[in-house]
C-alpha cells in the first residue's frame, strides 16, 4: 500500500468515533469492550456486578503511590549521586511509568473514577499525559483489542504492529524464539528509538483523536505548562535524565515483556482459553515488570468491567470452576511465561509446525 494511502487510512481511523455498543452475543454485564468471542466460564451476573464496583479511593491511592515512588527515586539519586544508583533509578522509574499506564488503562475501560468527565480528566492529568498518551487514544486501539482479540480487527495489530499487510505475524512477534532471539528483540526495543517513536506517536495522535474542546484545551495547557516550568527552572536536562531515559529504556522493555507474556505462544486444548495467558508475578516481578495485577489477563479479557484491584478476586472465582482450572493458561512467574516463548533453535523450528492444540503462535494470534 502506498505510504500516503496508508497514512490517510490511519488518520481516518484516528478521527473516527469509538464504538459505544456492547457487541457480545449475551453479556453477563454490559460493557462496550466486551468480547465478540464466547466465554466458556460465565460467572453469575450478581458476582460480576459486585466485582465491577469501583473504589475510587484505591485507584487514587495507587496513583499517589506511584508518583511518590518516582519522587523518592529522583530525590535519592540526586542527593546520593552514583552511576549504579542512577541505573537502579532508571529501572525503578521506568517500572513506575509502566504502572501509571496500567492504571490509566483502567480509565480507558471507564473503570478509574465513576463520573465520565472525572475518569477522563484525572486519568489524563496524572496517568496518561505525563507518559505521552491519552485515555481517548489508548481506548481507540484497546477497545477493538478486547472486542476482536486475535481476529483481523484486533486493535493490537495496529498499535503494536504485530502483523503485516497480509495478516501474517511480523518477525518480532513470531514465537517461540531462541533465548538469544527473544533477548535481541527486547534489547532492540529498549535502546531508546522505540521509546522516542512512542512519544511522537502519542503526542501527535492525541490531537487527531476526537476529544471535547475543553479536553483539548486542558491537554495544550498541560504540555505548555510543563515546558514553561522546565524552562524557568532550567530542568530540561533533569527531565531527560529522570523521565525520558527511563521511559525509552526500561519502561519499553517492560511493555514488550508484558505483551509477549500475554499473547505469544499460548497453547490450550480449548480455543477460547488460548487467546491469552495469565501470569501471576513474583513480588519482585510485580514491582518491576507486571504491576497492579495486570498479569491476570485472561480474566480481564473475559470481564473488562472489573477494575484492576479486584482482578485477584475474579481469578479466585474462576479458579473454582473446573473448566478454567483445567484449560486456562496460568503461570506463576514472568520467567515461566517467557520460558514458554523460547526454545532451542531446533525445537523452535518444530514448534512452528501445526499441532493439535490451539496456539496463538501457530494461528497468528499474537495481536
Burial class (CB in 10 A: 0-12, 13-18, 19+), 283: exposed
Binned at pLDDT 50, 70 and 90, residue 367 comes out as very low
Mean pLDDT for 43-58 is: 96
Mean pLDDT for 173-196 is: 94
Binned at pLDDT 50, 70 and 90, residue 195 comes out as very high
CA dihedral 81, 86, 88, 92 (to 10 degrees): 110
Structural domain total, the chain = 1
pTM exceeds 0.85 for this model: yes
Binned at pLDDT 50, 70 and 90, residue 5 comes out as low
**The three cell numbers locating residue 21:** 455498543
Beta pairing, strands 330-331 & 278-279: parallel
Q: Domain range for residue 214?
A: 52-359
Rg (CA), the chain: 20
Binned at pLDDT 50, 70 and 90, residue 205 comes out as confident
- Is 21 contained in some domain? no
Q: Assess whether pLDDT exceeds 80 at residue 111.
A: yes
**The three cell numbers locating residue 225:** 505548562
Binned at pLDDT 50, 70 and 90, residue 35 comes out as confident
- Is 2 contained in some domain? no
Contact 235, 229 (CB under 8 A): yes
- Is 27 contained in some domain? no
Q: Assess whether pLDDT exceeds 50 at residue 357.
A: no
Contact 329, 274 (CB under 8 A): yes
Binned at pLDDT 50, 70 and 90, residue 356 comes out as very low
Position 85 scores a pLDDT of: 98
**Phi and psi, residue 78, nearest 5°:** -70, -40
- Is 113 contained in some domain? yes
- Is 1 contained in some domain? no
Strand locations in the chain (E): 267-268, 278-279, 330-331, 358-359
Position 149 scores a pLDDT of: 86
218 vs 230: CA distance, rounded Å:
18
Tell me the β-bridge partners of 278: 330
The chain-wide mean pLDDT, for the chain, equals 89
Position 352 scores a pLDDT of: 52
Place of cell 484505591: 58
Greater confidence (16 vs 59) lies with 59
Position 165 scores a pLDDT of: 76
pLDDT in tens, 325-334: 999 999 999 9
- Is 31 contained in some domain? no
**Phi and psi, residue 53, nearest 5°:** -65, 130
Position 1 scores a pLDDT of: 44
Q: Assess whether pLDDT exceeds 80 at residue 360.
A: no
Q: Assess whether pLDDT exceeds 90 at residue 88.
A: yes
Contact 257, 248 (CB under 8 A): no
- Is 11 contained in some domain? no
Contact 240, 325 (CB under 8 A): no
Binned at pLDDT 50, 70 and 90, residue 153 comes out as confident
Binned at pLDDT 50, 70 and 90, residue 172 comes out as confident
- Is 43 contained in some domain? no
Amino acid at each position: 500500500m502506498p505510504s500516503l494511502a496508508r497514512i490517510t487510512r490511519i488518520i481516518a481511523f484516528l478521527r473516527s468515533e469509538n464504538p459505544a455498543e456492547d457487541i457480545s452475543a449475551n453479556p453477563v454485564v454490559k460493557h462496550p469492550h466486551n468480547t465478540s468471542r464466547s466465554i466458556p466460564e460465565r460467572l453469575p451476573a450478581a458476582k460480576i456486578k459486585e466485582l465491577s464496583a469501583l473504589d475510587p479511593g484505591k485507584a487514587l491511592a495507587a496513583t499517589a503511590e506511584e508518583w511518590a515512588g518516582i519522587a523518592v527515586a529522583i530525590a535519592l539519586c540526586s542527593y546520593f549521586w552514583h552511576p549504579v544508583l542512577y541505573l537502579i533509578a532508571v529501572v525503578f522509574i521506568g517500572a513506575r511509568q509502566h504502572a501509571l499506564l496500567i492504571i490509566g488503562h483502567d480509565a480507558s475501560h471507564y473503570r478509574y473514577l465513576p463520573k465520565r468527565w472525572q475518569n477522563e480528566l484525572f486519568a489524563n492529568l496524572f496517568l496518561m499525559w505525563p507518559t505521552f498518551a491519552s485515555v481517548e487514544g489508548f481506548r481507540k486501539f484497546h477497545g477493538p483489542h478486547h472486542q476482536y482479540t486475535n481476529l483481523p480487527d484486533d486493535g493490537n495489530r495496529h498499535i503494536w504492529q504485530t502483523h503485516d499487510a497480509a495478516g501474517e505475524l511480523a518477525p518480532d512477534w513470531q514465537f517461540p524464539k531462541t533465548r538469544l532471539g527473544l533477548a535481541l528483540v527486547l534489547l532492540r526495543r529498549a535502546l531508546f528509538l522505540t521509546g522516542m517513536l512512542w512519544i511522537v506517536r502519542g503526542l501527535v495522535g492525541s490531537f487527531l483523536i476526537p476529544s471535547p474542546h475543553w479536553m483539548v484545551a486542558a491537554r495544550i495547557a498541560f504540555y505548555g505548562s510543563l515546558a514553561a516550568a522546565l524552562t524557568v527552572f532550567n530542568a530540561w536536562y533533569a527531565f531527560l535524565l529522570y523521565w525520558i531515559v527511563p521511559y525509552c529504556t526500561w519502561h519499553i522493555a517492560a511493555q514488550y515483556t508484558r505483551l509477549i507474556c500475554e499473547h505469544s505462544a499460548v497453547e490450550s486444548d480449548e480455543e477460547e482459553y488460548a487467546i491469552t495467558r495469565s501470569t501471576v508475578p513474583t513480588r519482585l516481578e510485580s514491582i518491576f515488570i507486571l504491576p497492579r495485577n495486570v498479569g491476570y489477563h485472561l480474566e480481564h479479557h473475559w470481564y473488562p468491567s472489573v477494575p484492576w484491584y479486584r482482578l485477584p478476586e475474579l481469578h479466585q472465582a474462576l479458579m473454582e470452576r473446573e473448566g478454567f482450572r483445567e484449560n486456562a493458561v496460568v503461570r506463576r512467574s514472568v520467567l515461566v511465561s517467557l520460558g514458554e516463548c523460547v526454545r532451542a533453535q531446533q525445537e523452535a523450528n518444530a514448534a512452528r509446525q501445526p499441532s493439535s492444540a490451539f496456539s496463538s503462535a501457530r494461528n497468528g494470534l499474537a495481536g
